[in-house]
Structure 1
């Protein structure tokens, strides 16, 4: 064009480089926004939008590091919600997340003005006071929260939640671990739940030593798991009618020096920590891998392997994927794997349970209700569950054959299992008299010391290839 300016090579190169810089700046900004969004999701609860447990622990850690006066305290107000003993998480009722979402919306009014709020458990919200941290201020906050929750209107959803508040207080230098203060709030909430429907309690520092011991044990368990000191042992299941071994239940053990520690002594600490998911995943994979190597029997199908699934595992997303991964990695026939769950785990949110169980059944695995009769399963919901096995709790077996009440309960469970088309297994069988009583009722599958204690995998392989010779006597 006449009169148009012609750019020099240097000017053209400079303009191109500026364009590159602008594009780079936009890309850096985009990445930073994406990283910020990921960090936000990591530290916030997706349902309520509140910060989560990790966020609250970091806030407590920062607060504990701030010098305070002698009359001031670092405090947690921990709110545990209970919806009609668990029935609220059933069909026709709002889900756990829906209930907590409404409660979170009500408690948001307390945030700000020196108060931080977070959803620290599935059914709990914690508040941290960061301004004017006097004991009286903390108690007034707890009273205000109780007043707000006790006046909520739930008539539209036919549920009536209650709330228990635990208050934990720490003076300067008294506590150095943020998790200890939060757990003290949880312990106090448990104490408060034993009183009125809406009540609070202050943590009793006389129990502080036991909490510190629990934290010490958690660290020891983390180290044990990292060092490979956990083992999977197996207790065999026997069919007394056919005289054949039919399955084995996987049981976690801790090889602590020369001592073998049973799960009952430490599993509560594992379940209360974030160890439960990796440990549960490892047990599942190990059990499937071991079962592949069990000797095949010419007189019947291969032994099944039973693996317990904790409530924590069942609630967390990814259980179906974990089971599928364990099956694929081991090559185990899915029909040989049976997952054991408790009534309490299944009944908390029946619709969620049905969805997860349907996905698990689609993998081809079997499903069992463990310790049957000790929970609060309703027959209305129980008949909807795709259950293959009912395991009678040992508490109903111990009184056989003399306790008429236990005999009646076992008969009822056996009839119920037959109606559902499920197998029934009696746990805790120790004497021949119990075995004979169970056989008379029609229960053939049994598990207990009469047939063998929990044993290492190599010992199980030797046992299942032999005939049955009970070592227990009446």
Structure 2
């Protein structure tokens, strides 16, 4: 991707510089594009905004300054020859000023930015990727302060960044060497006392240790691995689901696959889904894509377009972690969604927490009025199951019914259920 391009460019530029005792610097510009974006028909989408900002920042490039978009909301400048602190600071100031002063057609749009600067050590060997991560780290730290501020990377954080980069390399190797696995957590129909679906969950087989996704998914997202890993999980889940034993009533269980924000923003998502179905032979109606509320609400017009295309393919769609984002009921009724998954944070306090109970009751009523199903996540106790059933929730997922398991274990479970019936 663009990050690899900039790394390779830096390596090419660095070789002749060392003969002259010169070095290079990286200025990372981190964009906060949430303010007002895609919340009305007049506001641009996030991608529109980033494209416009990229064009604006590109005007600051020159023979000694290169620019690339290195993450969904970040750009990196590579300074060669004139990589002194004064020059890098001046570039950071100019970049932030460019973001601050850009004019938008919609008054609702108000993006902000921070910048981070990292300097390569003079006369020493170093990893260009580490330098880029140093600048990114500095920009993240500046983000905790004032808008349109910048920070220079503190060498005291060097060891931590080197460790992070080492972890990223380990993840890349793990993916390349087939150490990633897809496990499945069953979804239970409490009314009919049977399994009806399973959610696919990413795992890393690191030697004897099975690592859950929450421990490494953040690095997958920032390292550029999200798209290939997401495509692989989608394909593997479809291939696995084809071999699941039938349910007692003769129907086939649904497989649920999470779609990341990065995947949802990718123009090839619908093609990727269609390809996974065609390659595996899975019937489209058995696949449900889970997309978080926050992802959908980032750009409602884009969401509507993508969801309509997915519905044409024949898959169903669930809004994951419902209640934790900022969904507008006006927009929600427009989206072709089949399922609302109630976030586990509202289930934890049940049945004692009156506020959580009221929220769940409201979601159940909302779903019923919109013709959607409801699934409760994080069910761990019988009293929670009983309270949810009393509110009209039929489908549930959580440790009460089983933790995530590999493909072989899930097939054994489904076979045993079929035999008991």
TM-score w.r.t. length of structure 2: 0.92
Equivalent residue, structure 2, for 1:47:
none
Structure 1 residue 310, shift from structure 2 partner:
1.2
Q: Secondary structure at the match of 2:305?
A: helix
Change (3 A) 1:399 1:87: farther
Q: Which of these residues, 168, 176, 185, is aligned with residue 118 of structure 2?
A: 168
Q: Which of these residues, 363, 378, 394, is aligned with residue 444 of structure 1?
A: 394
Q: Which of these residues, 191, 194, 211, is aligned with residue 244 of structure 1?
A: 194
Change (3 A) 1:175 1:370: farther
Equivalent residue, structure 1, for 2:213:
263
Q: Which of these residues, 275, 286, 289, is aligned with residue 336 of structure 1?
A: 286
Q: Secondary structure at the match of 2:25?
A: strand
Equivalent residue, structure 2, for 1:67:
18
Note the alpha carbon deviations across 1:170-196, whole angstroms, 9 max, x for none: 213556322222222222222222222
Q: Which of these residues, 123, 128, 140, is aligned with residue 190 of structure 1?
A: 140
Preserved CA contact (<8 Å) 2:246 2:414:
no
Note the alpha carbon deviations across 1:215-246, whole angstroms, 9 max, x for none: 21222222222222221111000011111111
Preserved CA contact (<8 Å) 2:38 2:300:
no
C-alpha separation in 2, matches of 1:353 and 1:186: 29
In structure 2, runs of 5+ residues without a counterpart are none
Change (3 A) 1:62 1:86: farther
Structure 1 residue 354 corresponds to structure 2 residue 304: yes
Q: Secondary structure at the match of 1:110?
A: coil
Count of residues in Structure 1 that have an aligned counterpart in Structure 2: 417
Change (3 A) 1:193 1:392: same
C-alpha separation in 1, matches of 2:216 and 2:90: 37
C-alpha separation in 1, matches of 2:147 and 2:417: 56
C-alpha separation in 1, matches of 2:202 and 2:388: 28
Q: Which moved more, 1:173-182 or 1:120-129?
A: 173-182
Structure 1 residue 391, shift from structure 2 partner:
0.9
Preserved CA contact (<8 Å) 2:294 2:325:
yes
Note the alpha carbon deviations across 1:347-402, whole angstroms, 9 max, x for none: 22222222111111111101011111122222222222111111111111111111
Structure 1 residue 205, shift from structure 2 partner:
2.6
C-alpha separation in 1, matches of 2:89 and 2:412: 62
Equivalent residue, structure 1, for 2:354:
404
Preserved CA contact (<8 Å) 1:76 1:126:
yes
Q: Which moved more, 1:83-92 or 1:347-356?
A: 83-92
C-alpha separation in 1, matches of 2:215 and 2:124: 29
Equivalent residue, structure 2, for 1:136:
86
Preserved CA contact (<8 Å) 1:90 1:347:
no
Note the alpha carbon deviations across 1:115-155, whole angstroms, 9 max, x for none: 22223233322222223221122112212222333223335
Equivalent residue, structure 2, for 1:460:
410
Preserved CA contact (<8 Å) 2:23 2:81:
no
Aligned ranges 1:75-154 → 2 under 5 Å: 75-85=25-35, 87-88=37-38, 91-112=41-62, 114-154=64-104
Change (3 A) 1:102 1:269: closer
Equivalent residue, structure 2, for 1:322:
272
Aligned ranges 1:403-422 → 2 under 5 Å: 403-422=353-372
Change (3 A) 1:466 1:435: farther
Change (3 A) 1:195 1:330: same
Change (3 A) 1:335 1:173: farther
Equivalent residue, structure 1, for 2:158:
208
Equivalent residue, structure 2, for 1:56:
6
Structure 1 residue 157, shift from structure 2 partner:
5.1
In structure 1, runs of 5+ residues without a counterpart are 1-42, 44-51, 469-474
Preserved CA contact (<8 Å) 2:26 2:118:
yes
C-alpha separation in 1, matches of 2:105 and 2:280: 51
Equivalent residue, structure 2, for 1:222:
172
Q: Which of these residues, 246, 256, 260, is aligned with residue 306 of structure 1?
A: 256
C-alpha separation in 2, matches of 1:107 and 1:440: 56
C-alpha separation in 2, matches of 1:80 and 1:367: 32
Preserved CA contact (<8 Å) 1:389 1:425:
yes
C-alpha separation in 1, matches of 2:36 and 2:294: 8
Note the alpha carbon deviations across 1:258-295, whole angstroms, 9 max, x for none: 11111111121222223222222221111111111111
Q: Which moved more, 1:284-293 or 1:447-456?
A: 284-293
Equivalent residue, structure 2, for 1:378:
328
Equivalent residue, structure 2, for 1:48:
none
Note the alpha carbon deviations across 1:393-446, whole angstroms, 9 max, x for none: 111111111111211221122122112211111111110011111111111110
